[in-house]
Amino acid sequence: MRAALTDEGIVYVDENEQLRATISYAGISYFDEDGQLRAAMTATGILYYDENGTLRVGIAPVGIGYHDENGNRVWSTDCAPNC
């Protein structure tokens, strides 16, 4: 089985039974082959994480933020700390 509908939403696993994506009331999440969260889309914005789990890009209604490999914001529009 590669996909399932649960009481919390839809889950998708790869051929190795590793979780790869979820769709739920909280949003949509994508995981890499190691199970690390790589991208998420929620009601508050879109987040992209690198292979180490560090937030690299945040897009929210209040703006856009870009972060370096240490998670430090290096560029942003005028936005809250979450982007």
Q: What is the pLDDT of residues 35-67, one digit of tens each?
A: 999 999 999 899 999 999 999 999 988 889 999
Full-model pTM: 0.81
C-alpha 74/C-alpha 43 separation (Å) is 24
Dihedral through CA 78, CA 79, CA 80, CA 83, nearest 10? -140
Mean pLDDT of 77-82: 64
pLDDT at position 83 over 70: no
Q: Could you read off the pLDDT of 69-79 as tens digits, one per residue?
A: 998 989 988 66
